[in-house]
Homo-oligomer: A and B are copies of this chain.
Amino acid sequence: MTTTEPRHIRLLIADDEHLIRGALSALLNLEPDIEVVASVDNGVAAAEQALATKPDVCLLDLEMPGADGIEAAARILSTVATKVVIVTRHARPGVLRRALAARVSGFVPKSTPAEELADVIRDVVAGKRYIDPEIAATALTAERCPLTDRELDALRFSRSTMSVQEIADRLHLAAGTVRNYLSSAMTKLDARSRHEAAEIAWQQGWI
């Protein structure tokens, strides 16, 4: 079908902040060819509603309690024939990689001008992909994660205020082992404390 006339687009919105969700609905409902058919506040509900309403596009916030945007995207795309656009506040390069691996069609930061969002959605419905050029460039220049799985495990817990012993307990490892992982991670990332290393890894989207 090579029709060029604007097709009616049915949209699902997931964002944990009620105000933002409502505002995005208002914004997109202004477009004559877009209709918001579902509006939910978490990833699990997004998957359920996607199955129930079969929208053309799902607009998912990345930061949500429970199942985050990428997890929700993976679930939705494995059960429903639809497209997914991820919206995020903090666009970290590693997250873009994970999103693309989950077969997401669009990736836009919240710094995008509001006028562009509807166009992105139309592009995605038309089978195109849209990746924010700024993030794409960062992701391409950013080097690959130099850390091993275990190092990442240890770093993940170091973002909270856990002691080495607590992390060791959680990972079922000896305290010395955890210290070694953290130490090598710190060397690789050129950090002066495990907290700094965890911060760097997070900003890169590795954890």
Residues of A within 8 A of B (CB): 16-27, 30, 87, 89, 108-115, 117, 161, 163, 191-193, 195-196, 199
Contact = CB atoms under 8 A, between A and B. Distances in A.
Contact of A192 (B25, B161, B199): B161
Nearest to A193: B161
| Number of identical protomers | 2
A132 to B, nearest CB: 11
A197 B11 CA distance: 43
A20 B109 CA distance: 11
B192 A117 contact: no
Contacts of A111: 16-19
A161 B196 contact: yes
A115 B112 CA distance: 24
11 contacts: A17-B110, A18-B111, A19-B113, A19-B114, A23-B24, A23-B26, A23-B114, A26-B114, A161-B191, A163-B192, A163-B193
Contact of A199 (B25, B30, B161): B161
Nearest to A112: B19
Which one of A25, A26, A89 has the highest number of Cβ atoms from chain B below 10 Å of its Cβ? Answer: A26
